[in-house]
Structure 1
Amino acid sequence: MKIFITTGTLDFLKKIEKKYPLERMLAMLNENGALLLHETNEQTVFNEPRRYEVLESYGELKKEGFVVMNNIAVTDEGRPLFEHQFKQQAETLVNTSGLTALRLLRSLNSNPYILMTIWENKDLYQKWQSTNTTFNALMADFNGPQNLFIDAPYTSKYTIAENSES
């Protein structure tokens, strides 16, 4: 499975989404702009997307919710360890109340990995993040003495743009 991501204005991206109703696509919006995600086993319809391989997958992508993308730049030597550690933690993470989908994405063109989680809403994500020791343990595993990171991880948050007529 692959995921392709492109950016543009929300109106433009919604037109692409509407043009391909049989494709699994999600339009997302935050204060910095909009993006459109295309999940497929085939070729993408995007002209120049960012390209990712799906390493771990849980849940279906739905056209509602709150999306958190943790961008994690990992050294070439650290990639096998990072993927192994994530797989060890994934089962605990996917059983979290309010989590509807998860994708671990490995870039096909460059770094970073993206840990994408989709939540029922922003409040459930914030509650989990602030009270759950699993989140802290997951981050601590990646911040160990192995020095897996090239740069500090960063997070992008989006609201899924619900179906609307453009």
Structure 2
Amino acid sequence: MNAYMTNGTFDFLKKLPKQHPDISFYFMKESASTLVYYEGEGKNVFASGRAYDIVIDNGDLQVNGFVVMNNIPVADEGKATFEDKFKQRQQDVETMPGFQAFRLLRPKNGNTYVVLTQWASESDFENWKNSDQFKQAHKGGDAKPPAYFLDRPFITSYHMVEVE
């Protein structure tokens, strides 16, 4: 399964559902920018979008909620190790109140993986960040990143928006 996303203005992107009625688009806003995400087997419908392979798929994305994307640049020689660590770790996040969905996305071009989590609310995400499960899953997180990280990871967060 593939995942696709693109950024742009809401007024431009809100036309997509009418142009592609067979696709379930998810709209997310971060200040003045809008991100549109969808999953499918077909060709990318975005003229300037990003394409990913879905490596891990837990939960169902919802049209409402809060999304956090951890963007992690990984060197080619470290991709297998990086994915294996995610596949073997216990997914305590799924048991947290407010959890909706998790995706590990491998880039089809480039080196930046996306770890996407969706929550019912921003406060549910904050509760996860302050939980013992989070501390266990991220122990050693203040240490130097693994050698296969090309750069420091960065986080983007979004509030889901419905298109009328």
Same fold (TM over 0.5): yes
User: Do the aligned residues in 2 keep the contact of 1:74 with 1:149 (CA within 8 Å)?
Assistant: yes
Secondary structure in 2 matching 1:94: helix
Aligned to 2:94: 94
* Residues 41 and 22 of structure 1, relative CA distance in 2, 3 Å threshold: same
Aligned to 2:133: 134
**TM-fit CA distance, 1:89:** 2.3
Measured in 2, the distance between the counterparts of 1:137 and 1:11 equals 42
* Consecutive unaligned residues in structure 1, runs of 5 or more: none
Measured in 1, the distance between the counterparts of 2:135 and 2:110 equals 27
**TM-fit CA distance, 1:145:** 7.4
Query: Which deviations, in whole Å up to 9, do the C-alpha atoms of 1:44-85 show, x marking residues without a partner?
Result: 221221111100001122211000000011122221111111
Q: Give the superposed CA RMSD.
A: 1.9
Measured in 2, the distance between the counterparts of 1:149 and 1:136 equals 20
The one-letter code of the counterpart of 1:56 is I
The one-letter code of the counterpart of 1:114 is V
The one-letter code of the counterpart of 1:52 is Y
Taking every aligned residue pair, what percent have the same amino acid on both sides?
A: 34
- Larger deviation: 29-38 or 132-141? 132-141
Aligned to 1:44: 44
**TM-fit CA distance, 1:32:** 4.6
User: Do the aligned residues in 2 keep the contact of 1:52 with 1:107 (CA within 8 Å)?
Assistant: yes
* Consecutive unaligned residues in structure 2, runs of 5 or more: none
Measured in 1, the distance between the counterparts of 2:139 and 2:150 equals 16
Aligned to 2:30: 30
**TM-fit CA distance, 1:146:** 4.3
The one-letter code of the counterpart of 2:87 is K
Secondary structure in 1 matching 2:7: strand
